[in-house]
């Protein structure tokens, strides 16, 4: 896709929902970025889901969806699981 890139712009949407589906401790959050780089469009999104097991300790997952990001052409999906400690 050939897009003009004379004015550098980036559009970002961010979301966060706590106690998803009425389940205390379940959080859904993430972002999506869209911008033009040289002659192509770049899209990056990282939705996350986290569940608080006990005070400050969470387990969850993130899936990175990207299009023309970080030198990789085309659409890519990279899932991961993790833990986090919230200070």
- pLDDT at residue 4, rounded to an integer: 53
Q: List all residues 6 or more positions away from 75 whose beta carbon is below 8 Å from its beta carbon.
A: 65, 66, 67
| pTM for this predicted structure | 0.82
User: What residue ranges of the chain have pLDDT lower than 70?
Assistant: 1-7
Q: Where are the domains of the chain?
A: 10-85
Rounded to an integer, what distance in angstroms lies between the CA atom of residue 68 and that of residue 76?
Answer: 8
Tally DSSP H helices, then E strands, for the chain.
Answer: 0, 6
Picking from 81, 84, 47, 50, the residue whose alpha carbon sits closest to that of residue 66 is: 47
């Amino acid at each position: 896709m050939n897009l003009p890139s004379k004015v550098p712009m980036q559009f970002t949407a961010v979301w966060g929902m706590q106690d998803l589906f009425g389940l205390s401790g379940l959080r859904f959050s993430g972002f999506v970025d869209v911008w033009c780089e040289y002659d192509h469009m770049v899209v990056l999104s990282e939705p996350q889901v986290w569940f608080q097991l006990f005070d400050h300790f969470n387990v969850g997952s993130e899936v990175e969806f990207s299009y023309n990001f970080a030198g990789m052409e085309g659409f890519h999906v990279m899932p991961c699981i993790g833990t986090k400690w919230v200070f």
